[in-house]
Amino acid sequence: MTKEEFIKEIASYVNKYREQFGIKVASPIIAQACKESAFGTSELAINAKNILGIKLKTNWQKRTPGAIGGYNKDTKEEYKIGQITNINATFAKFNSWEDCVLNYFYFITTVNNYKEVIGCTDPESYCHIIKKGGYATGSNYDNSLIEDYIKKYNLTQYDKKDIVIIKPEDTVSGYSNSPLVSYFNPAKYNGGERLHKIDTITIHCIVGQWTAKQGCDYFANIDRKASCNYVVGKDGDIGLSVEEKYCSYCSNSSEGKNANDQRAITIETASDKTDPYAITDKALNALILLCADICKRNGIPALKFSYDKNERVNHLNGVNMTCHRDFAKKACPGDYIYNREEYIASEVNKMLNNNLLEIKPITQPIQNTEDINKFNYIKYADDYADLKKAFGYDKQKLWNHYQTYGRKEGRKVYFDFECKNGYLVQVKIKDLNIRESHTVNSKSKGFIKPGIYTIVEENNGFGKLKSGIGWISLKYTERVWWIFGN
């Protein structure tokens, strides 16, 4: 396993669990795992699946949930600066690195010394908090995490930004921005407030299979008049570069009231670097969703494309999609997109007509383990009248809708997961007991915090928590599938 593979694996566990504990950043924890375990190669990491140097507490069954026992090992501690002491310590042993990460969150969020990590949005401050709280005795622990790991391995890329919600007061003259955006970095240059109302969409190819973040960061730093309103990344992620209220510098047409960039929302899409500048299916689906959202918010009743340049440039016969090549000697948007403009328009119009666009903020990233064969399409159709009307019980169509839009809209779907793999439930109430076993009369171990939990076993209407801490009554939980995979 390379260092990069280790980082990716640990990042997936950190990002799977951190939100339910109120932890806002991932990079310090990944850095800790790298440092404490020498990228998964240490004795503890291999023999005890302990990558975070977690010690076994006395009364550990209660205080180290998820641990399966202890592991003795000599360790160096620096209780006084510069003075290294060898001690023998008992570390916690886990079944997996994932369990270790989960346990870390229980630990770090329940011990008073570290409580400031909850809600902390700055990776460096996080490192100082855990150093101050005594996580490790090394005098340089926090700075080492920052310099030797977070910066060196660019770990902040795993600190997913929260959804940018531009507040109404930030908008001028009724302009808003797409709630689909997961990243916002303002471009260095924009053409100021629009001189024309939004009535056009111009899709571009960015000539590189980039993420939305890469695209936005590029326009935030480039020293010439180049920008766009949105960037669609190769994985279907959507970034905001120039707010809709502003004119972007995207189509070589920004001077004068009727210039293309004054009236169009411009979208750069991650694409191949060579002709026909193909884009991924994920990017294509995201483009459709974004275009539908733009139309809906800006009162554009339908999209219309034409393969006649004159119709496009002069907005004849209701045509409201233009191309960069209309205004400059360029291949943009490339033939791959160009040949799909009508398709994009028709998919957008279908969404607008069937009112299939009800976008809710994205709440929780989770790994992709969905499978059409486990997808309960009958329930999905029955739950949503509009989908049933549009697709009936057509399994493939419902699945496609779910994949493309349903997840982003926050629609709930049901999967028949085998229990041993676990499934997710949401606890909304504050006074749900964690029971020692699967009966109402068994001893309570306290209340579970509202949030998302993994259930690994069911018995008598109770679900066993993955952490091993106990059982909760499933009656008070809602089975969920969270949305918008990585």
Q: Which residues bind Zn ion (CB under 5 A)?
A: 204, 324, 332
Closest-CA residue to 70 (of 54, 93, 97, 37): 93
Closest-CA residue to 268 (of 312, 207, 309): 207
H helices of 248-308, in order, are 260-263, 281-298
Q: Which pairing describes strands 200-205 and 321-322: parallel, antiparallel, or unpaired?
A: parallel
Residue whose CB is less far from Zn ion, 102 or 337? 337
CA distance 136 to 144: 12
> Tokens for 34?
């790298």
Measured from the Cβ of residue 397, the count of other Cβ atoms closer than 10 Å reads: 15
Residue whose CB is less far from Zn ion, 297 or 324? 324
Residue whose CB is less far from Zn ion, 304 or 324? 324
Measured from the Cβ of residue 113, the count of other Cβ atoms closer than 10 Å reads: 13
CA distance 267 to 204: 6
CA distance 161 to 385: 34
Q: Shortest Cβ distance from residue 284 to Zn ion (Å)?
A: 17
Q: Shortest Cβ distance from residue 249 to Zn ion (Å)?
A: 11
Q: How many CA atoms lie within 13 A of 335 on its CB side?
A: 3
Q: Shortest Cβ distance from residue 251 to Zn ion (Å)?
A: 6
Q: Shortest Cβ distance from residue 250 to Zn ion (Å)?
A: 6
Residue whose CB is less far from Zn ion, 36 or 268? 268
Residue 243 contacts residue 166 (beta carbons within 8 Å): yes
H helices of 134-198, in order, are 141-144
Residue whose CB is less far from Zn ion, 268 or 293? 268
Q: Shortest Cβ distance from residue 185 to Zn ion (Å)?
A: 19
H helices of 92-210, in order, are 97-110, 123-133, 141-144
Q: Shortest Cβ distance from residue 332 to Zn ion (Å)?
A: 3
Residue whose CB is less far from Zn ion, 102 or 286? 286
Across 301-377, the runs of DSSP E, i.e. the strands, are: 321-322
Residue whose CB is less far from Zn ion, 51 or 206? 206
Residue whose CB is less far from Zn ion, 332 or 366? 332
Q: Shortest Cβ distance from residue 208 to Zn ion (Å)?
A: 12
Q: Shortest Cβ distance from residue 324 to Zn ion (Å)?
A: 3
Q: Shortest Cβ distance from residue 276 to Zn ion (Å)?
A: 14
Q: Shortest Cβ distance from residue 226 to Zn ion (Å)?
A: 10
Residue whose CB is less far from Zn ion, 309 or 389? 309
Maximal CA-CA distance, the chain: 81
Residue whose CB is less far from Zn ion, 250 or 469? 250
Q: How many CA atoms lie within 13 A of 195 on its CB side?
A: 12
SS3 call for 171 = coil
Q: How far is CA 67 from the centre of its chain?
A: 29
CA distance 48 to 186: 46
Q: Please, what is the end-to-end C-alpha distance for the chain in angstroms?
A: 21
Q: Is 482 buried (19+), middle (13-18) or exposed (0-12) by CB count in 10 A?
A: middle
